Chains A and B, each alone.
Chain A
Amino acid sequence: LAKTTQPISMDSYEGQEVNITCSHNNIATNDYITWYQQFPSQGPRFIIQGYKTKVTNEVASLFIPADRKSSTLSLPRVSLSDTAVYYCLVGDHEDSNYQLIWGAGTKLIIKP
């Protein structure tokens, strides 16, 4: 079964760019790699999703190398409101069973 590894926590300052990397092996070849943000007492919220290379939307960029064994979420010019837990999510097929596998989460703290 695929495994994911993310840093437990990261600190940064307002206005900086933050990059969070998730390592994931044995992921499903046809599935997207997805990142979510979660604030306390709320459900996760979708940030961005990609299959390979680079994807950019209005809030983030996602970099995925050709081997798809990792992905890096990039948050440009963070603000205090970006303080949250960030999760990577990948899919895997094992013994014909499909599973969605979440990373353990990276607690990002933004300082003024």
Chain B
Amino acid sequence: DAGVTQSPTHLIKTRGQHVTLRCSPISGHKSVSWYQQVLGQGPQFIFQYYEKEERGRGNFPDRFSARQFPNYSSELNVNALLLGDSALYLCASSLVWGLEQFFGPGTRLTVL
């Protein structure tokens, strides 16, 4: 069975640009969460979606937005990129919120 997939794996952008990151959950999983992980630090919660509704939001600026589609895949959008947005962006899926999360390999975003 396929695990959580994310695309792209790596991305280089310049300040001020916009980026869209994509995540496909494990089949049957209805909850998707997004995290930002800076090298050497723990993951920081950005969003959680369940059944296409936003269930939770971390302390990130409004430049960060996300959505979940009817097939439960998800997109994370970041506008007006800053150098500090450079990080590994992780997507995780679970059957329902609160249960074991399965993580994708992440998207490495570099902002120059």
Chain A residues proximal to chain B, CB less than 8 Å = 31-32, 34, 36, 42-46, 49, 85, 87, 91, 97-105
In the complex, are the beta carbons of B103 and A43 less than 8 A apart?
yes
Q: Please pick, from A32, A85, A99, the residue contacting B57 in the complex, using a CB distance under 8 A.
A: A99
Q: Given A31-B98, A49-B100, is A104 in contact with B41 using a C-beta cutoff of 8 Å? A: yes
B42–A105 touching, CB < 8 Å? yes
Interface residues on B, range: 20 to 34
Task: Name the one of A46, A99, A105 contacting B100, with C-beta atoms under 8 angstroms.
Answer: A46
Q: How far is the CA of A47 from the CA of B100 in the complex (A)?
A: 9
Chain B residues positioned under 8 Å from A98 (CB to CB) = 48, 55-56
A8 to chain B, nearest CB (A): 11
List the A side residues contacting B43 at CB < 8 Å: 44, 87, 102
Interface contact B33-A100, CB-CB below 8 Å: yes
B contact residues around A102 at 8 Å (CB): 35, 42-45
Can you pick out 24 interface pairs between chain A and chain B where the beta carbons lie within 8 Å of each other?
Answer: A31-B98, A32-B98, A34-B101, A43-B90, A43-B105, A44-B92, A44-B101, A45-B103, A46-B100, A85-B42, A87-B43, A91-B56, A97-B56, A97-B57, A98-B55, A98-B56, A99-B56, A99-B58, A100-B48, A101-B45, A102-B35, A102-B43, A105-B41, A105-B42
Kindly report which residue of chain B lies nearest to residue A31, judged by CB atoms. Answer: B98
Q: How far is the CA of A98 from the CA of B103 in the complex (A)?
A: 20
Which of chain B's residues have a CB closer than 8 A to the CB of A42?
A: 105
Question: In the assembled complex, how far is the CB of residue B98 from the closest CB belonging to chain A, in whole angstroms?
Answer: 6
Q: How far is the CB of B108 from chain A (nearest CB, A)?
A: 10
Query: How long is the Cα–Cα vector from A34 to B43 in the complex, in angstroms?
Result: 14
